[in-house]
């Protein structure tokens, strides 16, 4: 898909990967509709030309408002980037249920709700791309974030099923699996903290801008799955070939002193 002139709706666009996607797609001539809870962050990410709609996407009314305002301003939505998400650190058996439910509401149900308002519009036009931002944790469970990984496995399965459901409709579904990305994700988690070995592993992280470029290139070539960085596929392959070894190493990383 050619980006120039396309209408791109990005959730979680006030910072991190979402804000980087806003800059990357705008650079290629896209028209932007941005949403997140932070009005100030959206204003910084969108500049003077983007349509911004602050709000909590776990609220169905906000999801419909974002879509309606985008169509009112631009007449269409060509690309939906479902990026909004949050995490919970810690063992599943001790995770606070309230925060876990909040995470599931945003990471899965809000994402599902956004594509449910976008897909009928795209199907009617026989054109569009749904981009669901998952995680490497949706391919290989991260034991320090077991429940977060569970939400991202769900996003991956949803995206694969959606792609098959939409076959022949002109609408494409793409899954994005970021690994370590230098964003404010860790400071914004709902509960817990990353183990020290995981924090130190962030020296191998990519930037949000690098991740956004990988997403943009994936949209341009109608990719099925984008792994950012590409080396994440090596972890996926190792998990399949040597599951015991990978599980042992991941368990070691999740341990706290």
Q: 122-148: per-residue pLDDT in tens? A: 999 999 999 999 999 999 999 999 999
CA distance linking residue 161 with residue 150, whole number of Å? 17
Query: What's the confidence (pLDDT) of residue 256?
Result: 65
Q: What residue ranges define each of the domains in the chain, with the CATH number in brackets?
A: 7-254 (3.40.50.720)
Chain-centroid distance of CA 70 in Å reads 20
Is the per-residue pLDDT at 109 higher than 80?
yes
CA distance linking residue 37 with residue 185, whole number of Å? 15
pTM of the model: 0.95
The tokens describing 147, both together, are 């429940």
Cβ neighbors of 98 (< 8 A, separation 6 or more) are none
Is the per-residue pLDDT at 201 higher than 90?
no
Is the per-residue pLDDT at 64 higher than 90?
yes
Q: 18-57: per-residue pLDDT in tens? A: 999 999 999 999 999 999 999 999 999 998 899 999 999 9
Q: Which residue has the tokens 């490497």?
A: 136
CA distance linking residue 173 with residue 161, whole number of Å? 9
Is the per-residue pLDDT at 257 higher than 60?
no
Q: Is 89 a catalytic residue?
A: no
| pLDDT band for position 166 (cuts 50, 70, 90) | very high
Instruction: Give phi and psi for 200, each to the nearest 5.
Output: -65, -30
SS3 content of the chain, % helix, strand, coil (to 5): 55, 15, 30
Mean pLDDT of 229-235: 93
Could you tell me where the DSSP H helices lie in 105-207?
A: 111-125, 146-165, 196-200
Which residue out of 89, 108, 148, 180 is catalytically annotated? 148
Query: What's the confidence (pLDDT) of residue 203?
Result: 65
């Amino acid at each position: 898909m050619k980006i120039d002139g396309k209408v791109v709706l990005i959730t979680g666009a006030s910072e991190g990967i979402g804000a980087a996607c806003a800059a990357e797609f705008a650079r290629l001539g896209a028209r932007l509709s941005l949403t997140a809870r932070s009005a100030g962050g959206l204003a910084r990410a969108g500049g003077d030309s983007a349509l911004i709609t602050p709000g909590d996407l776990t609220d169905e009314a906000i999801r419909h408002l974002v879509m309606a305002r985008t169509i009112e301003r631009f007449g269409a939505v060509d690309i939906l980037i479902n990026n909004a998400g949050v995490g919970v650190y810690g063992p599943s058996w001790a995770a606070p249920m309230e925060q876990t439910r909040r995470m599931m509401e945003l990471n899965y149900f809000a994402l599902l709700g956004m594509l449910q308002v976008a897909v009928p519009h795209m199907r009617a036009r026989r054109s569009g791309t749904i981009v669901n931002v998952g995680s490497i944790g949706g391919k290989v469970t991260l034991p320090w974030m077991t429940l977060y990984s569970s939400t991202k496995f769900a996003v991956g399965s949803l995206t694969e099923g959606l792609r098959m459901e939409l076959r022949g409709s002109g609408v494409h579904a793409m899954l994005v699996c970021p690994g370590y990305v230098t964003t404010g994700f860790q400071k914004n988690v709902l509960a817990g903290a990353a183990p020290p070995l995981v924090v130190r592993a962030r020296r191998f992280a990519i930037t949000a801008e690098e991740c956004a470029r990988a997403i943009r290139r994936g949209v341009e070539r109608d990719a099925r799955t984008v792994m950012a960085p590409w080396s994440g596929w090596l972890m996926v392959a190792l998990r399949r070939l040597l599951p015991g070894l990978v599980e042992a190493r991941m368990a070691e990383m999740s341990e706290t002193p």
